[in-house]
Structure 1
């Protein structure tokens, strides 16, 4: 791994993307073949490494693998990214598919599974199938991997939705009363791991727990893939050590000048807004963001330019999440659409105490009452917006918007952004 002065360039890691290309030949030239060993050895090594899931939940990977017991288990690699701000899994499957497939086979061996699936978006299915065919031609894998394409919806990557889709049904979350590790795909014990997590499993099996812990936050060690977007005007994916200062990620990877960023959405649409004033006191890890009630989630950092209204951006996100709900419970069918209407009024309409009281009341009615985590994630993001953009709310009461003022100050002309904020 290569580290450079963080004042000049953030420490970019070269682990997951270390191979020269996606082919099996390039993969083997860089990493060699993965070792074989007992399930107990792999689980113990993963627990010592402290690897946690990179799909958002952050559950300890060794413990998750160990929890899958019973007859005819199934292993699923989850690469579905319904999150519009995320592309790390697609990039990983394009650049390093063989690491993911190594991790899938190792996980399958650890739980004794003969049935293996790779669940991913259609745009990376061709690359994945080619990588699987290469391994088959080389006699690499004991059991074949079946590719199942995920629909392009926000909830399609939720664990129970993954299982439902592979069974042939719609990719909708289920009201889980029994753990998937006990009864998942067609009632069989099932392990579902994010593809980045599986790639880390493949590296830890080769290089060990001490190597993995040699970088990153001690409480959540290793590296992580981060999708950056927002003020930079584009989207990029980088691999960085966990615990990297947030200012390094934002100022050197996302934008050129922090003065032009007012806030950042950390963790994606189910994440949390944090103000730019807090950037200097944050690192990109669970422990480094906990004091703000935030989490890296699936590795998303989306910056908000100072000339974009945070309330308008939040209203757009809430409206999208309301449309993407599973519509299997009251909070999804009624609560989220109501929140979308209220946030639209907050961003573009008349703001007063009655509106704010109704916003808080609606959030309370939705929170904790859904059949899946989608309503709760929406509430978390919306509540963080009310805190971070509290000053903007006050401005909207008087028909003003700081984003319009910022546009004038930064560009020198009077183009008010009432297309985004008509307060």
Structure 2
């Protein structure tokens, strides 16, 4: 997991649900899991399972927030032989820890979700995709799968797949391409539910989504909707970091405000200037703006922000938004698939001019250069990678225009002297995106 900790959250609201028992020493044990939840109810008719998920209002927890029931149905309606289920546990966002938490603390809840999703869509193969580079983690997940196979729990063959540790490798088309024997890079073409792994209809879901599904099928749609907002039901996992007293992974109701999520994490450890919402494809917001925004996809969009995979990083007043953004943009420029001009040339150029504004400044024209470079990469790439980076850089300039102007006119601020806040993998941890 990183140094972030798992926390009990909001007992008065009926939570935790997903993380219930996650801090127990036996949380990952199959026998303990079966005593608590029983085996996945695979006798349920697939059509009834899908209807229950549709009524629950569950949406994907990996970033896009697409209705899960509708996605299940689209795979079934593709109707070209056995389907494939892919559980995305890659967690490409460096500021997130929720997916690894689930796969290490509650692996059988995720595997139950895979088994039930496979039953719903008629799949005979399933994969759990994780980053390469941690053999003990991968071997342990394989042991969990083998234990279930020996117990006869699942009807689908589940495999653990290890992909390169690169940001773009987490995109759903990257997973499909890799599982088909290609490089783990995004691709254009049919959506996975139309033509995915081996040309089959393929359901790709984040591991948190599948863990929720496993509980919904057991406990019902009304149980799920008893928590959260009317149009955004259920709970979600958020990774709260930065200037809070207890950084960690928390389970909170959908619709909880950003500020209250910060309070669940112990509240600000020092005065907060900005909040990064949604990770490195996300958006900077001034703290006073972000504090009251509900954690739903629609409310975030109305605020000009992005919920993504539930990442919230509080930036203290003593830090520099532009400096933090320049570091991330530099990292993201090195994490591309290398398939198009905006990634190969545009993002390094954006990183260069943004670094000049943040760390040199004083030329009264750097802001204009940054904005020009943003426009040259935005919506021009072979995948969404340059779009996400452009959105992050633009949000820094828009939300903190006065800071940018000060840098441009007078040079770097004293905030650059403090230790960086946003986490980035060490260069030694990165792998080449192509095998």
Q: Given the two structures, how large is their TM-score scaled by the length of structure 1? A: 0.90
Give the structure 1 partner of residue 219 of structure 2. 207
Q: CA offset at residue 352 of structure 1?
A: 4.5
Q: Secondary structure at the match of 1:67?
A: helix
Match of 1:240 among 245, 252, 256: 252
SS of 1:191's partner is strand
Aligned residues between the structures: 402
Give runs of aligned pairs for residues 395-410 of structure 1, distance below 5 A.
395-399=406-410, 403-404=414-415
SS at match of 2:417: coil
Q: Deviations over 1:280-316 (max 9, x none)?
A: 3212222332232112201101111111111000000
Determine if contact 1:217/1:242 at 8 Å carries over to the other structure: yes
The alpha carbon displacement at 1:419 in A equals 8.4
For the Cα contact (< 8 Å) 2:247–2:265, is it kept in 1? no
Of the candidates 44, 68, 72, which is equivalent to residue 65 of structure 1? 72
- Residues 297-376 of structure 1 aligned to structure 2 (within 5 Å): 297-376=308-387
Q: Is the partner of 1:269 in helix, strand or coil? A: helix
The one of 114, 126, 129 equivalent to 1:116 is 126
Question: Partner residue of 1:17?
Answer: 19
Distance 1:280 1:419, change over 3 A: closer
| Contact 1:100 1:195 survives alignment (8 Å) | yes
Corresponding residue of 1:379: 390
3-state SS of paired residue (1:345): helix
The question of whether the paired residues in 2 share the 8 Å contact of 1:2 and 1:12 is answered with: no
**Contact 1:12–1:238 (8 Å) recurs in 2:** no
Question: Which residue of 2 is the match for residue 194 of structure 1?
Answer: 206
**In structure 2, how many angstroms separate the alpha carbons of the residues matched to 1:156 and 1:307?**
34
Is 58-67 or 276-285 further displaced after alignment? Answer: 276-285
Task: Tell me which residue corresponds to 2:157.
Answer: 144
The separation in 2 between residues aligned to 1:198 and 1:150, in whole angstroms, is 20
Between 1:281-290 and 1:325-334, the stretch displaced more is: 281-290
Q: Secondary structure at the match of 1:281?
A: coil
Shift of 1:147: 0.6
- Is 1:226 the equivalent of 2:238? yes
Query: 1:234 Cα deviation (Å)?
Result: 7.7
String of CA shifts for 1:261-290, please: whole Å, max 9, x gaps. Answer: 110111000000111111332122223322
Selected match of 1:177 from 189, 193, 210:
189
- Which stretch has the larger CA shift, 20-29 or 146-155? 20-29
In the alignment, which of 154, 157, 161 is matched to residue 167 of structure 2?
A: 154
Q: Distance in 1 between matches of 2:217 and 2:414?
A: 50
Residue 403 of structure 1, CA deviation: 4.7
Residues 133-168 of structure 1: CA deviation (Å, up to 9, x unaligned):
221121111222111012211111100111122223
Task: Give the C-alpha shift of residue 354 in structure 1.
Answer: 3.0
Asked if the contact 1:338/1:362 (under 8 Å) is kept, the reply is yes
Alpha-carbon distance, 1:355 to partner = 2.2
Compute the RMSD of aligned alpha carbons.
Answer: 2.1
315-324 vs 16-25, greater mean Cα deviation: 16-25
What TM-score does the superposition give when structure 2 sets the normalisation length? Answer: 0.87
CA contact (8 A) 1:351 1:397 kept: yes
> Of 34, 37, 45, which residue of structure 2 is paired with 1:31?
37
5+ long unaligned stretches in structure 2? 1-7, 421-435
Query: Cα distance 1:419–1:207, how it changes in 2: closer, same or farther (>3 A)?
Result: closer
CA apart distance, 1:402:
5.5
Question: Match of 2:113?
Answer: 103
